Structure formats: C-alpha cells, structure tokens
Amino acid sequence: MPNSNAEKTDFSQRPVRIEHDGPQGVGLSEWEEMDPATLASGTPLQRGHLYDEVPEIGYLAGVWDCTAFDDKPGPYSVDEYMFLLEGKVIMGLPDGTEITEKAGEAFVLPQGLQCQWKMPGYVRKIFMIAENKGSGSAKNPSLHRVTKPSLTQPESNDEVWSERISFCNADGKMRVAQVHYATAFTGKQHMNCVRLITVLEGSVNIAGGAFKVGDSFYCHPELEAEWTIAAGTSWIEARYLRDG
C-alpha cells in the first residue's frame, strides 16, 4: 500500500487541482517496494501522492508514477479507474488477448478480473481506487472486462447536458462517466459523491479555479461553489459514493 500523504484540504471551499508532479513544494513521494512474489519481471520504483484516502474502506485517489515491470497473472485486487498521463500499459487476459492503454486514454479494471499488468516502460497516471464487498452481477458487463470509456464528444446532441456511464462496480458505489455540455452552464452542482474529473474539451471555472483541456481536479459533494462551464465542454470522471 502507498504511504499516507493525502493532502489535508477543506473540500467544501474549492476543488483540488491534481498536479501531475504532486502538489507544489511536496512533489511525489517514494512508495514502498512492491512484493517480489507478485512480480513476473522488473524491479519497479514507484512514487505517488494521495489527494484523498479513507483507509478503512480501501479508498484512494491521487497520482502515481513507476518504472517498468510486469505483474504475475491473477485477479485484480480492487476496482481502479485510471487516466494515463505518460507511457503505456498492456493488459493480458486469460484468452491471450492483450489490450493496450496509452497516454491520454482512460480505463477501468474491476475487482476480481483475471489479468496480467504489463508495463514496458515508465508510466504516470491519475487514479481512483476502491475495494468493494459487492457480489457483482452477470448482467453487468463492466465487471468482466477492461473498460475503455469513449473520450469523443457526441456527434450531435440537442440536450443541454448529457452523460455516458461506462462502468459501475459490483457494490454500485463507483461509476465512470463521460459528461458533455452542449450549451454553457452557470450554477451549483449537487451530487452525493466524490468526483475525479479530467477536462477533455472546453473549460470549467469553480471558486476561482480555472480548468482547461488536460487539467484534472477533485471535488467533494460538500463543495458549495458556483460552476461556470463553457459550451461544448466534455470531461471524463470517476465518482465514488462514500461516507466522510
């Protein structure tokens, strides 16, 4: 597990910008070595910063980087949403299929998925991790695959606001969605979950924080600030319903 270095922030006042190198003046901390028994190859050096965590429920959100390694095949231990900032990851599946994720792409691995993590070089990512005790459902296809959300805007959309849900975990608490605003919006947003957002198109302003294409930020449901969202704005977000 990573070292506990979650940023202490009053989330009710402002969103937190996710810096790719960690917070200014803090940076990324070296995390503990991976268990050699879990590795197929490599001697990885991993660093990271947690912007938020709730250890008792296995919840983490932050930024991580690491040198090359391959895991041994096995069940993935958590639900994890990732947006790759640098490098690439190859997910090997039991049937021999390999799915490549590159910088600028998002993907989700569900808890229990049989797979092998392969990382031929350096990788940096933002992430949201949650452990769940849900039993799952055969009717939920996102529990049995590597989910790659579409990051393209809808070709035509007359709605003021729309979203596409691409992943829902077994206990129903974690979801990944692409959100699109066809027209401009100003006002407060009320949601009962924490949100990790990466802007794909357009711009968002919240409580004096300006977020443009490529920026990521994190906010809690108690955030009471006004949002100003430009027309044509799209983002990808991971949400988690939690206490605290």
Q: What is the pLDDT along the chain (244 residues), one digit of tens a residue?
A: 566 565 555 666 789 999 999 998 999 999 999 999 999 999 999 999 999 999 988 999 999 999 999 999 999 999 999 999 999 999 999 999 999 999 999 999 999 999 999 999 999 999 999 998 877 777 889 999 999 998 987 665 667 788 999 999 999 999 999 999 999 999 988 888 999 999 999 999 998 899 999 999 999 888 888 999 999 999 999 999 976 4
Q: What's the pLDDT at 2?
A: 66
* Architecture, CATH, for domain 16-144: Sandwich (2.60)
Three-state secondary-structure class, residue 128? strand
β-pairing, 98-102 with 88-92? antiparallel
d(CA 154, CA 180): 8
Just give the CATH number of 161-240: 2.60.120.10
Q: What's the pLDDT at 136?
A: 75
Q: What's the pLDDT at 192?
A: 87
| Residue 215: other Cβ atoms inside 10 A | 18
Read off the DSSP letter of residue 152: S
Burial 105-122 (b: 16+ CB within 10 A, else e): bbbbbbbbbebbbbbeee
Burial 141-170 (b: 16+ CB within 10 A, else e): ebbebbbbbebebeeeeeeeeeeeebbbbb
Domain ranges of the chain: 16-144, 161-240
The Cα-based distances of 185 to 96, 222, 235 in angstroms read 46, 20, 14
Q: What's the pLDDT at 222?
A: 83
Residue 30 φ then ψ, to 5°: -70, 130
Q: What's the pLDDT at 244?
A: 47
Q: What's the pLDDT at 243?
A: 63
Is it true that 16-144 and 161-240 share their CATH fold? yes
